[in-house]
A and B are shown apart, each in its own frame.
Chain A
Amino acid sequence: MTPDFTIPQITISVLLPALIVLGAGALVLLLDLVPPRDSKTHLGGVALAGILAALLATVWLWLRGGDERAFRDMVLLDGYALFFDVVICYAAALVVMLSMDFLGRTGGESGEYYALVLFATAGMMLMASAGDLIVVFLSLELMSLSLYVLAGLFKTRLTSGEAAMKYFLLGAFATSFLLYGIALIYGATGSTNLDRIAASVAAQGGDPLLLIGLGLLLVGFGFKISSVPFHMWAPDVYEGAPTTITAFIATGSKAGAFAALIRVLTVALRGVQADWSALLWGVAALTMTVGNVAALAQSNLKRMLAYSSIAHVGYMLMGLVAGGAQGAGAVLFYLLAYTFTTIGAFGVIALCARAGEEAVEVGDYAGLARRHPVLAATLALFLLSLIGIPPLAGFVAKFYLFGSAVRAGYVWLTVIAVLNSAVAAYYYLRVIVYMYMRETEGEGVAVAPSLAGGLALAIALVGIVLLGVAPAPFADLAQAAVAPLLR
């Protein structure tokens, strides 16, 4: 038997958005070597231009329509991938804009920073396009390795080093689980390609090997999206990492991981949906409850938002449990809303400093409304959106998500979720209490004026209001985006 070897068809356009981002990253590295050496803000501009170019390419591909697949179905370019490309590009662009002044102020400015952000972005985008478990793994690593370094950016700060170390060790541990899961699934089905796994599962059903592989895969993804019980790293990493990177880990990396998770589960493992949805039911309920209860006790804003983001992962998993176009579409919309809101909240924190340090204690924000009314109102709106107060994005996102769960018959899971949202109101509102109802003690928070940062916050703010008031077109896009998965 002669080995059947053909050169796979190479279609560059499938990789276009990710390639643009990677190219911009390489360009940033090159430009880092030439003057001016003392300021690197212009590299942020290059990075931003790269991301915007990728965004334009994505929109162009979207308008052109049609699904493309290349490299022997390893990389897919469908509406689903493009939707995530847009979300991830927005997240990356806002993070870069927020970083430009933040880095100069905190002394962490370097060319590598922007290059690594771009590499991580490319990793996230590829995760959404992955049609093969190997590509899932590779892109996950591309994203994770970049983020490990970024978390430790403040070399002189102990917490930053701790964050990077913890993130790296636990992340590496999780990745090995993922890889082991992939190996077992390959053993059970004879393929790493999502479609061929699906065909094999449909033909032979779920054998124990496949189910063990599924479990290990979920462990690996569980770490990446920080679902309970694999969430322990999140608070420490969120606290120690530079705030802008925290925002990126909380949004972009979650979007990427969810993109791959949803595709793997709904395409490749649809045949064993009963197994994973039962498992995820429990994980979702636990994740939202643990996240919210732990957030109640936090006085550090970054830790609080870390636990709150764990809780939001719990809500999003509900959509996966509910399944179908409704459930998956609701998760996509939720991710969009959550990305804008969370980056906005972290963005406000990134602009605030107290006595030269980052202002992260909730007490630092006492009386902020009196001294910086616009900034306080901005943070308040982001927090209200996280609670899910209409007419902001968070409310509509929750509404779609809970609606999909009720429709699929998971009423009790929804009851757990809504009670969780009510509990969550307490810790978000506590920040508003400090800002509006208490007076500043001692030296207050200093706000660094930043044009790019302010613009980023304005974009995020417009985003959450627009998604809240006129959600229909975006929700329809999310619904259309998941259609390719469910064929």
Chain B
Amino acid sequence: MTPGLLSAVTFLPALGALALVLVPRRLDVVHRAGALAVALLTFLTSIPLWIRFDGARADFQFEEVARWMPSLGVSYHVGVDGISLLLVLLTTLLTPIALASAWRAIEDRTKEFVVTMLLLETGMLGVFVSLDLFLFFVFWEAMLIPMYLVIGVWGGASRIYAAMKFVLYTMVGSALMLVAILAFYYQHGAATGVYTFDVPTLARWVLPSGLGQNLMFLAFALAFAIKVPLFPFHTWLPDAHVEAPTAGSVILAGVLLKMGTYGFLRFCLPFFPDATLHFAPLVFALAVIGIVYGALVSTVQPDLKKLVAYSSVSHLGFVMLGLFTLNQQGLVGGLIQMINHGLSTGALFLMVGMIYERRHTRLIAEFGGLWKVIPAFSALFLVVVLSSLGLPGLNGFVGEFLILVGAFQVSGWLAAAATTGIIFAAVYLLWMYQRVVFGEITREENRRLTDLCPREWAVLAPLLVFIVWIGVYPAAFTGKTEATIAALLAQVESKASVALTR
């Protein structure tokens, strides 16, 4: 155990942001390079977490505890387990990539941009490492504002509408969660005499099942479902994704959506096991609707970015399905699929951003025949598209397969309905790919496109490495999570008043 390592990873970006605030505005290159350096340093600092993390242990590692507001039972308590470790690394990986992708795309107010992005990274990391409900809520709310600014200041034409919608949706959800947090805290305190926001302590306590537990579950679930987004709370997502700059979309899709699914896993399952079981059929229904609906809507999108945005609704439906199966395969699959979605969709947004920078349009109809002009781009795009639709050998397959195995144990029909989503995914992604890359060149402008530059190679290469790595040898990643997932399931089972179907 290394004291301070996790805090260093979490707060390094914020410290870097504070340092960059002091650098004069006109030193544009210092801001870009400095932010990238800070983000890369954060990634390097986070690698020891991966190396030293013991996958055989189910408890929290790299824990740090410090008193903060002792009279309320609030402490600064951080730590990672098999659930949060991968998400922390995903965040530290995607942030430098997003910053590098914005090197040329963001010309206006770069200082503010890089500072905002670094603060956002600290916020996201804080959400994943917090083991105190108060601390978690602080990070959860605090990271809203940087994302709001990224969409609203550096976004597209209707960025203000999109940014406002994003914030208001999230705030309504988290407002009710705050009430549930307080109610849970006081119930725990009244029952045990210990008033604390400490997550592991709260998770050990058995909340009596009934209306209270159901309402608290719903309040938490609403906040997380909006973030995921679970159908029908997804309507903010296409607006936010389409209007956000590429770097914002990458972070939004890659990390922010995972906060919702992470919340279900970290809080809803262990705190409210009976309610989780009670509402699982509802979640299954919404998840499957989301899978099919997201895929169908993607199919008819004329805009590349909107297509990718709606595909997120579909993919996150798979994750939700996996988490609520409450069996080992489903949960591990759901967790891996969170990472996969971050990598694949992040890469898709990056590549859409790259051709947008060249052509200033994202309409599928404006392209065609790109293979002849920019073969390297087209080839990498193919790999990313295939990973997103779940081709065996690439990462997407691993997650979807495990989720479907888990879903099949719950109900064959459920698995069958969800599987249609995979078919539709092949339809919308390949059809899109065909229209953009194959065929004849229909627009003269497209003949002059330039292929990937070294910076763009550098941005995409790490993602492709992980896409193939997870696809070929998933055990390297699932091995870190299985013990934690098994312990979580055992905890849910021991606390639930009815038996799980495993």
Known A-B contacts A389-B145, A436-B153; the reply to A419 vs B172 at CB < 8 A is: yes
Chain B positions within 8 Å of A429 at CB level = 148, 164, 167
Q: A175 — which chain B residues lie within 8 A by C-beta?
A: none
CB-based contact B175/A421 at 8 Å: yes
The reply to whether A384 and B145 contact each other, CB–CB distance below 8 Å, is yes
Contacts A419-B172, A429-B167, A437-B160 hold; do A479 and B145 have CB atoms under 8 A apart?
A: no
Q: How many whole Å from B130's CB to the nearest CB in chain A? A: 12
Contacts of A448 in B (CB 8 A): none
Q: How far is the CB of A330 from chain B (nearest CB, A)?
A: 11
Whether B138 pairs with A419 at a CB distance below 8 angstroms is no
Q: Are B138 and A390 in contact (CB under 8 A)?
A: yes
A407 CB-CB contact with B under 8 Å: yes
In this assembly, does A169 line the interface, its C-beta being within 8 Å of a C-beta of chain B? no
- A471 pairs with B176, CB closer than 8 A: no
Instruction: Please determine whether B164 and A426 come into contact, CB atoms closer than 8 angstroms.
Output: yes
**B71 with A475: CB separation less than 8 A:** yes
Binds A, one of B178-186, B299-307, B323-331, B381-389: B178-186
Residues of B within 8 A of A471 (CB): 69
The complex places the Cα of A472 from the Cα of B183 at a distance, in Å, of 21
With contacts A390-B138, A390-B141, A437-B159 known, is A414 near B179, CB below 8 A? Answer: yes
Check A458 for interface membership: any CB of B closer than 8 A: no
Is the beta-carbon distance between B141 and A389 smaller than 8 angstroms? yes
Q: Which residues of A contact B137 (CB under 8 A)?
A: 390
Complex interface bits, A381-425 against B, C-beta within 8 A gives 1, otherwise 0:
000100001110001000100110011000100110011011001
Are A426 and B138 closer than 8 Å at their CB atoms? no
Residues of A445-487 at the interface with B, using a CB-CB cut-off of 8 Å, are 471-472, 475-476, 479
Q: Which residues in window 142-183 of B have CB below 8 A to A?
A: 142, 144-145, 148-149, 152-153, 159-160, 163-164, 167-168, 171-172, 175-176, 178-179, 182-183
Asked if residues A407 and B186 are in contact (CB atoms below 8 Å), the reply is yes
Q: How large is the interface on A (under 10, 10 to 19, 20 to 34, 35 or more residues)?
A: 20 to 34
Measured in the bound complex, the distance between the Cα atoms of B144 and A415 in whole Å is 21
Instruction: State which residues 118-142 of B face A: CB under 8 Å.
Output: 134, 137-139, 141-142
Contact indicator per residue, chain B 104-118, by CB within 8 Å of chain A (1) or not (0) = 000001001000000
Interfacial chain A residues near B152, Cβ < 8 Å: 433, 436-437
Partner pick for A419 among B69, B144, B175, B186, CB 8 A cutoff: B175
In the complex, what's the smallest C-beta–C-beta distance from A386 to chain B, in angstroms? 13
Write out the residue numbers on chain B whose beta carbons fall within 8 Å of the beta carbon of A390. 137-139, 141-142
- How long is the Cα–Cα vector from A391 to B126 in the complex, in angstroms? 12
Most buried by A among B159, B179, B183: B179
Tell me the dominant secondary structure on chain A's binding face. Answer: helix
Known contacts A406-B179, A414-B179, A426 near B186 by CB under 8 Å: no
B70 at the interface (CB under 8 A from A): yes
- Pick from B164, B176, B178: contact of A433, CB under 8 Å: B164
Contact A425 B178 (CB under 8 A): no
In the complex, A485→B175 CA distance in Å?
Answer: 32
| Interface residue? B473 (CB, 8 A) | no
Q: Do B186 and A472 touch across chains, with their CB atoms under 8 A apart?
A: no
Partner among B72, B139, B182 whose Cβ is within 8 Å of the Cβ of A406: B182
Considering the chains assembled together, what is the distance between the CA atoms of A472 and B137 in angstroms? 17
Is B68 an interface position by the 8 A CB rule?
yes
Inter-chain contacts of A389 with B (CB < 8 A): 141-142, 144-145
Residues of chain B within 8 A (CB-CB) of A415 are: 176, 179
- Which residues from B are CB-within-8-Å of A425? 167-168, 171
User: Given the interface contacts A389-B141, A472-B71, does A418 sit within 8 Å of B168 by beta carbon?
Assistant: no
Q: How far is the CB of B176 from chain A (nearest CB, A)?
A: 6
A471-B142 Cα distance, complex, nearest whole Å: 17
Tell me if A395 and B138 are in contact (CB < 8 A): yes
Smallest Cβ-Cβ distance to A430: which chain B residue? B164
- Contact check, A403 vs B172: say whether CB atoms are below 8 A apart: no
- Are B160 and A433 in contact, with the CB atoms below 8 A? yes
> Cβ of B159: which chain A residues have Cβ within 8 Å of it?
437
Offer 17 A-B interface pairs, CB within 8 angstroms, sorted by A: A390-B138, A391-B138, A403-B182, A406-B179, A411-B179, A414-B179, A415-B179, A418-B176, A419-B176, A421-B175, A429-B167, A433-B160, A433-B164, A436-B149, A436-B153, A472-B69, A475-B72
Interface residues of B (CB under 8 A from A): 25, 68-72, 109, 112, 134, 137-139, 141-142, 144-145, 148-149, 152-153, 159-160, 163-164, 167-168, 171-172, 175-176, 178-179, 182-183, 185-186
Give the 9 A-B residue pairs with the shortest CB-CB distance, closest first. A418-B175, A390-B138, A406-B182, A422-B171, A472-B69, A422-B175, A422-B172, A437-B152, A390-B142
Given contacts A390-B142, A391-B138, 5 further A-B contacts (CB under 8 A): A373-B25, A389-B145, A402-B178, A414-B179, A471-B69
